[in-house]
Structure 1
């Protein structure tokens, strides 16, 4: 068993510095630090955090089984994903979903690559086992419920307009819906350009609406959110009201409320708060009242806002695809709960 402190503590292995070994002149040290920063920017903070957790999980399993974690061994990795799929005691006794196993495998490939020791996931000890896991355990995707306009209106009524928290929550729900934004995109917004180091974009309030500039997985994109037909449901008006009463002109757009609910704090909201807000407001509004109350929260998430826009916006599909930032129309269609699946009827087209 490895005696390395990295394995003992279950910590993700550090990415190797691209700088040459030995003593370095100041210019090379500066370049090394910049290179490390660029390497970190290649993946999102959430991805790196998830990968670190997965490496810790794998290293802990190796330690308990008396196996070496630091050297990439396809046979060991094959045994590990088998343990995850079968819910072995050595991994906590709980079966992992196929998507979780695939993410854990991606984390191991990434971690070993950072050490200059590539792991070949096409090796038969990994690829064959993973194919069997998919065939045995893969389940159809479970889509979250779409928040439709009538649902959103009911949810907005549960937000107290007399409090800062209520004003913030109204703005988040409306901006998330009208922009078709992911939860990390909502909480990652700043009040202006180049204001924070951890921001994922910024806003510009224009006469015709709101221009949102976002940094995504494939680069920068712009999302245009037009003004609504009524001040009560206008996402831009809701945002302007929040900014006014919260006195926010720079820094994170959506923040925690402090001081007994009287003022916004300096810290950015965690993106999980968007999912909690959607679940809480949906429950308070009585959505899906036909189901037991304990079953309702699992139906809704931050994605429910994106799905709601995709399902209810009566415009050409290409505009919805652009708003959501999807690379393909097929991905957009997965979000459209109301679309006519049989609009193109190949049965009739074939003469039957």
Structure 2
């Protein structure tokens, strides 16, 4: 963005890579950076809101600083001219944060029960989507974490239900890993081990051909627990767990991408008549935190599952989605 602006290109015009190198071949001044930020901060949407959030502008500043650091140049972003401009933008920019609406347990159950899991080919995708929905909610997974799961990352546990290994995540770039427990559910439709087994059976059935897949679909019933059924576990551990699919019902060998998971959550929720406007892939993780807060879970208990490092992040969900929890207004006797 900054290089394009320096070269006089508009945001939508492609800029040659050699021109990027040319623009950053020498250090840029604090005046240039300040003018760039001020110009972007003044741009408005058709609704007369700031076009860019302060978070976006902050990321641009970090990118400019990193570009100079990589080339051994002094960082112009530390100059008072730039910091004063950035602080002024933060004070004057009031753009409401667009957060994902949470899917709570009742919403999740409604979406799951409205999903076709018995006919071909819709039932194949429906079975996969239910597993994604239940995993995403119970494990407070990010879309990228669901996409990265391998078959060998899921372990059946006699007492706990499932142990799911997250090898790396947004807040764990070093790959220290985390084990999330997905317990048995009282309701068979939203029981994580049941959802996993139903999807796993279809993955195994596809190895034997379409007739076997159709046979497996006909035998499915969301009202019946399958979490204690005999286990075979024949699939290669290094293969993706949640895979992309063809419209014909064929399960591909490649992992489903995070964007596709987000679209699926939105489409399934809207098809089930969930009224919330901003349903996204993050609504599952948001729903877990919100439901846990309403159930009286502590910050530590919530962070054990979500992997958050700072309780302040959990408090954002409380303020946005559960404002009456631990709020003194409920003690006033109104």
- TM-score normalised over the length of structure 1: 0.69
**SS of the residue aligned with 1:266?**
strand
Aligned residue number for residue 226 of structure 2: none
Distance 1:154 1:341, change over 3 A: closer
Count of residues in correspondence between the two structures: 268
Aligned residue number for residue 256 of structure 2: 269
Distance 1:321 1:343, change over 3 A: same
CA deviation digits over 1:157-200, x for unaligned, max 9?
332213221111100000000001111111111112xxxxxxxx
1:204 matches 2:148? no
- TM-score normalised over the length of structure 2: 0.73
Aligned residue number for residue 309 of structure 1: 288
CA deviation digits over 1:288-318, x for unaligned, max 9?
17xxxxxx3xx11122111211122325312
Q: Which has the higher contact order (CA 8 A, sep 6+)?
A: 2
1:213 matches 2:213? no
CA distance in 2, matches of 1:205, 1:263: 26
CA distance in 2, matches of 1:190, 1:112: 39
CA distance in 1, matches of 2:76, 2:6: 19
Aligned residue number for residue 80 of structure 1: 36
CA distance in 2, matches of 1:300, 1:128: 37
Aligned residue number for residue 107 of structure 1: 63
**SS of the residue aligned with 2:187?**
coil
CA distance in 1, matches of 2:271, 2:251: 24
User: Following superposition, which runs of at least 4 residues in structure 1 exceed 4 angstroms of deviation?
Assistant: none
CA distance in 2, matches of 1:142, 1:262: 35
1:122 Cα deviation (Å)?
Answer: 2.2
CA distance in 2, matches of 1:268, 1:244: 17
CA distance in 1, matches of 2:260, 2:35: 36
CA deviation digits over 1:103-150, x for unaligned, max 9?
122222223323333524221232111111111114343332110111
1:209 Cα deviation (Å)?
Answer: 1.4
1:70 aligned to which of 25, 50, 56: 25
| Residue segments in structure 2 that go unaligned for 5+ positions in a row | 10-18, 45-49, 205-234
| Residue segments in structure 1 that go unaligned for 5+ positions in a row | 1-56, 89-93, 193-201, 290-295
CA distance in 1, matches of 2:163, 2:291: 21
1:344 Cα deviation (Å)?
Answer: 5.4
C-alpha RMSD of the superposition: 2.6
CA distance in 1, matches of 2:256, 2:279: 19
1:61 matches 2:1? no
